[in-house]
Each structure stands twice: as structure tokens, then as C-alpha cells.
Amino acid sequence: MADEQQHKQLHLNAFLMGVGHHEAAWRHPRTRAQSVLDVRHFQALGQIAERGRLDSVFFADGLAVGPRIARNTLAVFEPITLLSAIAAVTERIGLIATASTTYNDPYTLARKFASLDHISGGRAGWNIVTSAGVDEAANYGLDVRPEHEKRYARASEFVDVAVKLWQSWESGSVLLDEDLGVFADPKKVHAIHHEGAHFRVRGPLNSPRSPQGRPLLVQAGSSEAGKEFAARFAEAVFTAQQSLEDGIDFYTDLKRRLPRYGRRAEGLKVLPGVVPFIGGTEAEARALESEFTELISPDYALRQLSTMLGIDLTEHALDAPLPPLPPIHAIEGNKSRYQLVKDLAEKDSLTVRELIGRLGGGRGHRTFAGTPEQLADELQLWFEAGAADGFNIMPPYLPGGLEDFVTEVVPLLQKRGIFREEYEGLTLRDHYRLEPVDGGSDGQEWQAAQ
Amino acid sequence: MADEQQHKQLHLNAFLMGVGHHEAAWRHPRTRAQSVLDVRHFQALGQIAERGRLDSVFFADGLAVGPRIARNTLAVFEPITLLSAIAAVTERIGLIATASTTYNDPYTLARKFASLDHISGGRAGWNIVTSAGVDEAANYGLDVRPEHEKRYARASEFVDVAVKLWQSWESGSVLLDEDLGVFADPKKVHAIHHEGAHFRVRGPLNSPRSPQGRPLLVQAGSSEAGKEFAARFAEAVFTAQQSLEDGIDFYTDLKRRLPRYGRRAEGLKVLPGVVPFIGGTEAEARALESEFTELISPDYALRQLSTMLGIDLTEHALDAPLPPLPPIHAIEGNKSRYQLVKDLAEKDSLTVRELIGRLGGGRGHRTFAGTPEQLADELQLWFEAGAADGFNIMPPYLPGGLEDFVTEVVPLLQKRGIFREEYEGLTLRDHYRLEPVDGGSDGQEWQAAQ
Ligand SMILES: Cc1cc2nc3c(=O)[nH]c(=O)nc-3n(C[C@H](O)[C@H](O)[C@H](O)COP(=O)(O)O)c2cc1C
Ligand SMILES: Cc1cc2nc3c(=O)[nH]c(=O)nc-3n(C[C@H](O)[C@H](O)[C@H](O)COP(=O)(O)O)c2cc1C
């Protein structure tokens, strides 16, 4: 291993959404709105990220359209299906799909991820979410969204079951012995006989052990329950942090929880989000950001903000401050984002219009406008100050915003010796420098033997 | 349109399973057993089928491993994920995935198929199954498999809901009007407010109308309830028929049921299965078939047969006839296959060993051994006698069995003017010469505009 690879390296995930994270991205001339319906757009993004040697690409997901259909570019593609099509045109980039533990069955979902891991040769990751939205319940026969705490309780049991299913085929269980006529060794394939409060699942999984043993487990909730869940299961955490100080607090808090679950700090990578507007000069970058801010439709943004805060702001004056907000314990949706937006508005005494502008880029994720050097400085600062093991890069417009990051910022990080020049391993788990899941991997052996 | 395209054309689906349908295929030197774990094997099969201008490829699926793990090549990949990876390396071939109405949620599954249809540019099909296996229930919290009739009742409501969800975005609803800032026209995107015995689903679907409007609906059950279900929903039907006579009866019966649902005979294509052993001479083909039969492990085959008949034969003498069988009304699993196997054994007074040999190739589907000319004759005979609108081609070994069919049999069918020389349209629905689903397709328009 070369010397610079011994240095602590940061990790980069590209969070891809439609034609960009900025809510008005699809109206800006740097994007083609039609691309949201075109799989080739997303396949090309996967290839750009791989060219930049990023760890992974990631797709969010929600299970309802919501009331903002007129202005929302939304999710056309279901992430696992989409990532399978991206797997087919890439070789190394990790592939992280969001899926809900509230509205899925563990057997079905564990199989899907095993399948994606087989298809991609060990590049699958699962962003585990509990579906905080209010509209999702009604698509699954429920009158109201299950409570925050109950969602996380179900999520824990769900992941337990999924992990047992992925382990239900020991490594080495697939024999493919043509002479003896033995496909798999029945002694190494186990029923799991899970019986819990939420699920009864016999197993084994209907798919042999996948190349990574199981997908990378990713989590993105930052409430108390969310952090505890992350400490127990997550190998990477996406989080929204507005300031370096908040970033350090969150990072420290999360890492401190790990020993209680018998886990080491290196086993969980914290990746705060950043929405980069990149320009040749800082002024150019800021001007670009303003172009996007001006394209925001206030009525759409007001509805978005209303959903985020759980109160109706659609009739509220744009140039007034926020009305009084409910206390955090009354929030059953996305608790951590609620807190972040509340703090942001209060700290700088923002009017609603100003708040909307601040949130336009990343819905609460930090927006950064500057030169490639400035952005590299900022990322290095957070990384070395103990606020991040890497970043969730959220290009405000696509593909340009990712292309610029890869061609202008990545080489700077490489020159500074804090980001890989080449992939070191084959799997997503390798990219994140995580221990392999116990034992080898049947799939990979067969692939390697080709 | 050229003259020969006016002729009635037959349709060909390639039913792909592991390294072939013959249960001992993976032990034969014409296959490489490891391919069952390799996505590239399946991608190559999709490309071979497309080279042969076949209508579609199809993958079966089950939601449990079952007790025969030692001898079973089983499903490694979940079909929708797998077909998405095949979509990425093909352009025209239709992509049919099996999915269960008994162990899925309609909202989730409708979205998956919409996603596959978007990804493939309108090539998705759904083989609707009710999961007849006994082992699946225990992976989904149930003690026993729901009864045959109840499964079909749920299936009907499930498909109703899915169709409503696919229609919840009218065609033309996606505007992408950048100047007005209007992504979609809210007046053309509808909640469905479904409330039924099994499901409550508000909608709309979280994915815009897909290129085909909805996937091709395929069905493969042939019991009374299965046929009624097919008559109501199916646009293609896979079926196992041992003799031309049985084929004609089934075909006639099914087509007669259509007018009651306001449907025309052309709207449903009947595709009996055939397992072809192709050789330069008939003797060569038969010798090849024997090679495979000899590789069958009797203990595996006995378990397979026990499952099919719902009785335990594992201690039964191989050279004795079958013991008395339960009456058809007592069968809660695959009713039509039970009947077929029972009839086959009785008609020719087969011993268990002989029966196992007959079933080895296609689990009850018709096995055919002969020259390419003989196979083309046989297919043409069934097609012109009114037993088939096309065929479900089940290669006994892969990729060779598909390769031979495409290079040796397809050209004969083309020369006879009963199979296309080129694809006429873009979508799976086009290939099967079915009416487009009401209205145009947003996805396709955008793709065409590229
Ligand atoms: C970067 C990021 C991506 C997220 N993606 C999704 C998503 O795709 N679907 C979803 O339902 N929630 C998503 N969430 C929300 C979280 O999973 C979680 O529900 C939310 O943060 C509320 O959790 P908390 O109450 O623990 O803070 C995301 C959050 C972050 C920070
Ligand atoms: C060609 C063919 C393919 C089938 N594929 C599947 C499958 O993948 N999964 C499944 O559960 N059942 C599958 N079946 C079974 C049928 O869907 C159905 O459950 C079975 O025929 C019993 O239905 P019946 O009782 O109406 O005859 C298939 C049947 C045929 C003929």
C-alpha cells in the first residue's frame, strides 16, 4: 500500500436527485428538465461519480407524491431498480438505495438488496429510513403515520431480521458440485425462526450469500432515537449540519454511543451534507447561487416549509418572521430537521422569505458558494476538525454540478493526500474501509474465478 | 407495412431459469453451474433473445427456498432488479418479471413496475402469481398459505388497485414548463381513494405515467379461478399443455371467457410452454435428452414431485406406479399442474421413475426432441390449429439451448412468414400487437424527443 494511502482518507458520496438538489434546478438553463424521466441521465451521473473515484452514489425515496405535485420534480424511479440499471454501466461506484422499514416486509427487502449486491458484484448499500412523511401512511392502508418512536422500534426489529436473513447462508454454503449433484450444503443454510413484536419470519433467504455478505447499512435520522439507531446499526450516516460547531457536536455525540454496542469509531462514517455552488471566483459562485434562488416559487417553498415544520404557512406573510413554533416533542415527522430549521430562523432572525432562500439549495443542508480551492479548504477543515469522515455531496444542479465537483474539487483533495486516486478494493464496504462481514463471499469468488 | 407482416404472427417468449429448465442442467457439460450467480450470464441471454427478435424474456420467482436446497439451483436474483440490469444492455426485448399478489403491497409493486417500464423505455411485463408454494407463508408471518380461492380474490383486488395507480397520472400530466415553473398539472394527477376488502390505498402513484401506461399483464394459472382471472386481466398467458388436443381445449376455453369482460380474442395471447432439445437429427436430439435424464437425482426429483402433488413420495418405490392421489378440490397449491401430472401418469400407466423422467425437462411442460425443422413444424401446427398464439420457450440448458433456438429455429419460422424479421415497435405491448393503453405516454415522448 502506497504511503499516502496510509493517511486518513475522507469519503465522498454523491446524493443524486432529479436534475439537482436546488428546488428550482429544473427551471435553470444549466439543466434539462426532461432528464428527470430519462434513465440515461442517471446512468451518466453514476459514470461521472465513478470517474471521480467517489465512494458511492445515493438516491432518496418517498412513498407518496404529496400535495406539491405542480412544482415537484419528485422521484420517477424506484431507487433499487434504478441502481441496478446503473450497476450495469459502471464497475466500482457504490450504489446506495433508500428503503423504508415502515412500509416494507423484511423478507422482500432483504432479498432485493441481496439481489442488487449480486448484480453489482458487492456494491449495494441501504439507506434505512422510517418514512417521516404524513402522506405515505394512506398508501398503505393506515389512517395516520405511525409515531416516531414506534417507527424506530419497528425499524430495529426490521434490520435485525434482515441481517439474520443475509446471514442465513453461511459463506461457503454454495458448493455447485456437479459430480455429487450438490448445489448447496444444507447444513450451512439455516432457517432463522425469527419471532418478534413486529415480524415472524422463518427463512432462510431465497438468495445465496451476496458478495458483501450484506449491503452497507446507512442511516439518515438525527433525532435521539435516530442517533441511537445509527449507533447500533449504521456504517455510514448522512446528516444535515449547518455549522462546524454543530458538526463537531453531532460527530462526537454519535461516535461516543458506539462502544455501548461493542463498536469502534472507525466502523461508522459520518457524512454531513453540502450543497456546493462552484465558480471561478467567489463572486461568480455567489452570483450563480442567486440565479437559482431567484427561480424559487414562493408558494411551492411555503408548502415545503410547512411540511418541514408541521404547521401551515401557506397564508403567512413572506416578509414577516416565523410564527411561534410547536415544541420538539410534538413533532412526529423529521425531528432533527425541524430543530435545525427552527434554530436557523431564530439565530439570524430570518423572515420567511429569507429562510426560504437559505433552504432552497439543500432543504436544510449546508449550502456553500466558492471556488474549488475554497470548497476543498472547507471540506478539509471539517474533516480534520472532527466534524466529518467525509461528505454527502449534493449538487444543486445536474449533471453540471457533479461534473464540476469531480473535475475541479476532487483533484485538489487528491493532491492534499486526503482522497483516493484509485479504488483500492472492489466492494462498497472496501471503499468505506470497513471490515468485511464475517467470512468470504460466494458471489465474489465465482465472479473472480471468471 | 410489408405484406408478410399482415399475416398472423406468432409470439415467442424465452422463459429463463438458472442454467436451464432441465432440473439436472447444471450438472451437464453444456452448462457452467457458476453462471447461476453471474448477472452477465443473464444479460447475455437477454441479448441472444433480442438477436432472435423474440417478444420477451421472462423470469419466474418464489419467496422461499424450500427443502430441496442441496439440489436446487434456485433463484439468486429478484426478477425486477435483474431485468433492470438486462434493460441496460438491450434495446427492444420485452422484460417480464414474476411478482406475487399474496405477499406484496400494491403501492410498492405498482411503483416497481412503473420504474422498470421507465427504465426500459416501455418494455416491462408482470407475471401475476398468487404464490402457490407451502413455504412462502412462513416468511411473511403466516402459519399457513392462504387458500386457493382467497389468494385469487386478493389477486383481483390487487390488480385493480395497481391499474388504478398506473392510471392515476393521466397522459399529458407531466408539463415540465420551466417558464411557468409547473412540473406537472395537478388536475391530471388523481388520488384513487381505493377502499376494498384487502386494501386501502389513496394514491396517486409516486411515479409519472410510464411509457406503456402500465406493464403488460401476464398470468400463468390454469385452474378455474386462474382462467377466470386471466380472462379478466391477462394480456398474455403462460400455460403447460401436454397434447395438441389439451392445448386446443384450453385455448378455446380461455378465449370464450373474454367477451364477458368486454374483451376481444386478440387482446389475450396464449403461450403454451415447450422445452426443446434440438439436434442435427432426431436421434441426436433424443440422445441429448437422455444425457440430461440420466443426470437427474431421484431423491431430488421425488421431493419435487411430492411438492407438486401435495403428498409425500420420498419413501415410495421408484419402479411402482403412483399411490392413490387426493381429489382436485383438496389441492390448495397449483391446481392445474396437479391435474396435468395426475393425467400424465394415469394415461400412460407410468411408474414413478418414468414420470420423473418425463417431468425432468419442464416440470410438466411439454418436452420436444427433434431437428429444427421438426420443431418449427410442431410450433406451426399448434399455432395454426388454434392451440397457441405463440410459445413460451423453455430451453433445457443455457445459454446453448436458447442460442440454438435463435439461430436454427427462428429463421425457419421467419421464412414461413409466421414470425417477425424485425421489431415493428418499441414497446413490449407493440411486440405482442396489443392496443396501447388509453392515451399516449409521457416517458416515451420525452425519450423520443432526445
Ligand atoms: C441526507 C438525508 C437523506 C434522507 N433521505 C430520506 C429518504 O430518502 N426518505 C425518507 O423517508 N427520509 C429520508 N431522510 C430522513 C431521515 O431518514 C429521517 O427520517 C429524518 O431525518 C427524521 O429522522 P429523525 O426524526 O431521527 O431526525 C433523509 C435524511 C437525510 C439527512
Ligand atoms: C410458465 C409458468 C410459470 C409460472 N411461474 C410462477 C412463478 O414464477 N411463481 C409462482 O409462484 N408461480 C408460478 N407459476 C404458477 C402459477 O402462477 C399458478 O400459481 C399455478 O399455475 C397455480 O395456479 P392454478 O391453481 O390456477 O392452476 C407459473 C406457472 C406457469 C405455467
pLDDT value for B6:
58
| Contact at CB, A82 and B115, closer than 8 angstroms | yes
Residue B392, amino acid? N
pLDDT value for B176:
87
pLDDT in tens, B100-116: 999 999 999 999 999 99
pLDDT of residue A44 exceeding 60, the answer is yes
User: Cβ contacts (< 8 Å) between A73 and chain B: which residues?
Assistant: 183
Classified as helix, coil or strand, A388 is: coil
Picking from A157-171, A295-309, A404-418, which range would have the lowest pLDDT averaged per residue?
Answer: A295-309
pLDDT value for A2:
44
What mean pLDDT do residues A277-297 have? Answer: 95
**How many other CB atoms are there within 10 angstroms of residue A358's CB atom?**
18
Place A377 in a pLDDT band, splitting at 50, 70 and 90. Answer: very high
pLDDT value for B280:
98
Check CB contact of A159 with chain B, cutoff 8 Å. Answer: no
B324 contact partners, CB below 8 Å, separation of at least 6:
none
Q: What count of residues does chain A have?
A: 450
Biggest CA-to-CA distance, chain A: 79
Place A43 in a pLDDT band, splitting at 50, 70 and 90. Answer: very high
Torsion of CA B153, B156, B157, B161, to 10 degrees: 160
The protein residue with its alpha carbon nearest to ligand 1, atom 18, reads: A221
CB-neighbour burial class of residue A449 (10 A; exposed 0-12, middle 13-18, buried 19+): exposed
Check CB contact of A293 with chain B, cutoff 8 Å. Answer: no
Q: Answer yes or no: is the C-beta of A220 below 6 A from any ligand 1 atom.
A: yes
Q: CA nearest B198: which of B143, B141, B139, B152?
A: B152
Picking from A216-225, B132-141, B145-154, B358-367, which range would have the lowest pLDDT averaged per residue?
Answer: B358-367
pLDDT of residue A441 exceeding 60, the answer is no
Closest atom of ligand 1 to A100 CA is 11
A221 Cα: distance to centroid of ligand 1 (angstroms): 5
What mean pLDDT do residues A334-350 have? Answer: 89
Cα gap B37→B31, rounded to integer Å: 13
Place B436 in a pLDDT band, splitting at 50, 70 and 90. Answer: confident
Cα gap A331→A340, rounded to integer Å: 13
CB-neighbour burial class of residue A361 (10 A; exposed 0-12, middle 13-18, buried 19+): buried
Picking from B1-15, B171-185, B344-358, which range would have the lowest pLDDT averaged per residue?
Answer: B1-15
Q: A140: distance to nearest CA of chain B, Å?
A: 6
Cα gap B100→A151, rounded to integer Å: 26
Task: Please count the residue pairs, one from chain A and one from chain B, whose beta carbons lie less than 8 angstroms apart.
Answer: 222
Most confident of B43-57, B126-140, B287-301: B43-57
Cα gap A63→A43, rounded to integer Å: 23
pLDDT of residue A5 exceeding 80, the answer is no
Compare CB distances from B72 to A118, A183, A442 and report the shortest one's residue: A183
User: Cβ contacts (< 8 Å) between A80 and chain B: which residues?
Assistant: 81
Interface of A with B in 410-439 (CB under 8 A): none
pLDDT in tens, B318-352: 999 999 888 888 888 888 889 999 999 998 899 99
Place B438 in a pLDDT band, splitting at 50, 70 and 90. Answer: confident
Instruction: Classify the phi-psi angles of B332: left when phi > 0, otherwise alpha if psi is within -120 to 50, otherwise beta.
Output: alpha
Cα gap B322→B299, rounded to integer Å: 15
CB B57 within 8 A of CB B82: no
CB A52 within 8 A of CB A406: yes
Cα gap B213→B436, rounded to integer Å: 8
Cα gap B337→A437, rounded to integer Å: 42
B130-133 contacts: CB < 8 A, separation 24 or more?
Answer: B130/B100, B130/B101, B130/B102, B130/B154, B130/B155, B130/B221, B131/B62, B131/B63, B131/B100, B131/B101, B131/B102, B131/B103, B132/B221, B132/B333, B132/B334, B133/B62, B133/B63, B133/B64, B133/B66, B133/B307, B133/B333
A14 Cα: distance to centroid of ligand 1 (angstroms): 16
pLDDT of residue B443 exceeding 70, the answer is no
Cα gap A63→B425, rounded to integer Å: 33
pLDDT value for A73:
67
User: Cβ contacts (< 8 Å) between B138 and chain A: which residues?
Assistant: 200-202
| Contact at CB, B141 and A201, closer than 8 angstroms | yes
Q: A158: distance to nearest CA of chain B, Å?
A: 12
Place A6 in a pLDDT band, splitting at 50, 70 and 90. Answer: low
Q: Name the percent of chain A lying above pLDDT 90.
A: 76
Cα gap B396→A349, rounded to integer Å: 72
pLDDT value for A443:
43
CB A42 within 8 A of CB A399: no
CB B57 within 8 A of CB B95: yes
Classified as helix, coil or strand, A10 is: coil
Cα gap B1→A147, rounded to integer Å: 60
**ipTM of this model?**
0.93
A329 Cα: distance to centroid of ligand 1 (angstroms): 18
pLDDT in tens, B292-321: 999 988 888 888 888 888 889 988 999 999
Domain boundaries, chain A: 2-284+364-444, 297-359
Which three three-digit cell numbers place residue B324?
Answer: 392413490
Check CB contact of B46 with chain A, cutoff 8 Å. Answer: no
Compare CB distances from B34 to A104, A295, A446 and report the shortest one's residue: A446
Q: Answer yes or no: is the C-beta of B221 below 6 A from any ligand 2 atom.
A: yes
User: Cβ contacts (< 8 Å) between B78 and chain A: which residues?
Assistant: 111-112, 114-115, 207
DSSP A92: S
Helix axes A106-120, B79-87, angle to 10 degrees: 30
Most confident of A332-341, B86-95, B350-359: B86-95
A401 contact partners, CB below 8 Å, separation of at least 6:
A20, A276, A277, A278, A395
Averaged pLDDT score across all residues of chain A: 92
Q: Answer yes or no: is the C-beta of B392 below 6 A from any ligand 2 atom.
A: yes
Hey, what CATH topology would domain B2-284+364-444 get?
A: TIM Barrel (3.20.20)
**How many other CB atoms are there within 10 angstroms of residue A8's CB atom?**
11
Classified as helix, coil or strand, A421 is: coil
pLDDT in tens, B203-236: 999 999 999 999 999 999 889 999 999 999 999 9
Helix axes B298-309, B352-359, angle to 10 degrees: 90
B143 Cα: distance to centroid of ligand 2 (angstroms): 21
Which three three-digit cell numbers place residue A440?
Answer: 468470504
pLDDT of residue B4 exceeding 70, the answer is no
- Enumerate the β-bridge partners of residue B277: B369
Most confident of A294-308, B5-19, B61-75, B258-272: B258-272
Q: CA nearest A83: which of A428, A351, A409?
A: A428
A220 Cα: distance to centroid of ligand 1 (angstroms): 5
User: Cβ contacts (< 8 Å) between B82 and chain A: which residues?
Assistant: 84, 115, 119
CA A41 to chain centroid: 19
What mean pLDDT do residues A329-358 have? Answer: 88
> Ligand 2 test: best mutation among B15, B130, B140, most atoms within 8 Å of CB?
B130
| Contact at CB, A446 and B37, closer than 8 angstroms | yes
CB-neighbour burial class of residue B198 (10 A; exposed 0-12, middle 13-18, buried 19+): middle
**How many other CB atoms are there within 10 angstroms of residue A279's CB atom?**
18
Classified as helix, coil or strand, A93 is: coil
The protein residue with its alpha carbon nearest to ligand 2, atom 1, reads: B238
Residue B164, amino acid? K
pLDDT in tens, B379-406: 999 999 999 999 999 999 999 999 999 9
Place A3 in a pLDDT band, splitting at 50, 70 and 90. Answer: very low
What mean pLDDT do residues B55-73 have? Answer: 85
| Contact at CB, A65 and B189, closer than 8 angstroms | yes
pLDDT value for B68:
72
Q: Answer yes or no: is the C-beta of A62 below 6 A from any ligand 1 atom.
A: yes
Beta strands in A132-247 (DSSP E): 174-177, 182-184, 194-195, 200-201, 216-219, 236-239
Biggest CA-to-CA distance, chain B: 79
| β pairing state of B194-195 and B200-201 | antiparallel
Rounded-to-5 percentages of helix, strand, coil across chain B: 45, 15, 40
Cα gap B443→A37, rounded to integer Å: 6
Check CB contact of B208 with chain A, cutoff 8 Å. Answer: yes
Helix (H) or strand (E) holding B443: helix B442-448
Check CB contact of B88 with chain A, cutoff 8 Å. Answer: yes
Closest atom of ligand 2 to B98 CA is 8
